[in-house]
Amino acid sequence: MNRNQEKFFRRTRYQLLRGWYGEKRARIEMVAHTPQPVNAGDVIEHLCEGLADPDVANFIALETRWKEIVGAQMAAYARPARLHDGVLCLEVRHSSLLRELQPSLDLFLARIHRMVGPTVCTSLRLIPAGSVNRRR
């Protein structure tokens, strides 16, 4: 039902109630014939449920908690760049860090599973800075 139809039905009901109950009581009775209020946040959440890609939502969760997951010092060396099909690409500042951080990937993955959940990320991949395509 569109807005104009809703106004028409409300006006018609009000006229019927006014004829039956009188002017004063019709306003009170009209409340029983109008829809109950709905929380706008619930409506927006319901409408936007299917819009967000789960990988994007999981990536945002990882990126916001990254310092908490790996620690501030390690977060300075590697940061999340992209999450696609359970593979989290970590962007490192310098190519020499690829070899240095490789042994730590299992530890990072265990911390990710503990902090965010085991279904979010299944593996990690180190890549040099600037080499990831974030649009996919």
The predicted-structure confidence for 59-115, as pLDDT tens digits, reads as follows 888 999 999 998 988 888 899 999 988 899 999 988 888 888 899 899 999 999 998
Q: Which of 54, 132, 130, 134 is CA-nearest to residue 93?
A: 130
**H or E element that contains 88:** strand 87-92
CB 121 within 8 A of CB 113: yes
Mean pLDDT over 2-8 rounds to 83
pTM for this predicted structure: 0.60
Q: Please tell me the predicted confidence (pLDDT) of residue 34.
A: 73
